[in-house]
């Protein structure tokens, strides 16, 4: 009398492999999309942080900060000298800059901006609108155009 055999048949192994492949095919695009969204949030965060820092330093040091916006970078100026230049990561672009018709923003020593306004940060088909509120100079981020 033969003892019972344990293990999987080839058919069972192939079926399990097919199930894993199907799950992987569905999961990988979702994970890639989540990674891209996280990268874009990082890009937005670094640009917004730089604007907030310029406002804070204008107040703390008692010197106006001028921010110039270009498609590929922002520059922060103080006393007619370039203090900082920030290039958004991964080749993100700055578009649609409008601060009362200007592509520059000044933070006064009380933290107020020269004008409220906005710009769009774009990367790989994703867009976020960055708003600088008039009077307060606070920065807010919204999804989309």
β-bridge mates for residue 99, sequence order: 102
* Cα dist from 104 to 41, 62, 89, 92, 132, whole Å: 23, 19, 21, 19, 12
Supply the pLDDT for residue 145.
Answer: 58
Check pLDDT > 60 for residue 105.
Answer: yes
The pLDDT assigned to 2 comes to: 59
d(CA 139, CA 116): 10
Write out the two tokens for 49.
Answer: 């942080």
- Enumerate helices (H) and strands (E) in the chain, giving the number of each: 1, 8
Specify the CATH architecture of the domain 10-143: 3-Layer(bab) Sandwich (3.55)
Q: Return d(Cα 124, Cα 91) in angstroms, integer.
A: 9
d(CA 32, CA 40): 12
Q: Which of 130, 142, 137 is nearest to 115 (CA)?
A: 137
Using CA atoms in the order 126, 100, 56, 89, what is the torsion angle rounded to 10 degrees?
30
**SS3 of 76, please?**
strand
How confident is the prediction for the chain on average, in pLDDT? 92
Residue 4 has a pLDDT of 66
> Looking at residue 3, what is its pLDDT?
60
The residue extents of the domains of the chain are: 10-143
Average of per-residue pLDDT across 91-109: 95
């Amino acid at each position: 009398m033969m003892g019972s055999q344990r293990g999987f048949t080839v058919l069972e192994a192939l079926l399990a492999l097919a199930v894993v492949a199907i799950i992987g095919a569905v999961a990988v695009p979702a994970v890639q999309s989540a990674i891209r969204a996280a990268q874009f949030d990082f890009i937005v965060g670094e640009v917004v942080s730089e604007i907030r820092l310029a406002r804070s330093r204008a107040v703390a040091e008692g010197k106006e900060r001028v921010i110039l916006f270009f498609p590929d970078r922002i520059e922060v100026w103080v006393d007619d000298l370039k203090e900082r230049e920030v290039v958004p990561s991964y080749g993100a672009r700055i578009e649609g800059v409008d601060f009362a018709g200007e592509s520059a923003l000044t933070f006064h020593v009380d933290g107020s901006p020269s004008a409220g306004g906005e710009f769009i940060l774009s990367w790989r088909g994703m867009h976020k609108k960055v708003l600088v509120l008039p009077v307060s100079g606070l920065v807010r981020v919204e999804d989309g155009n």
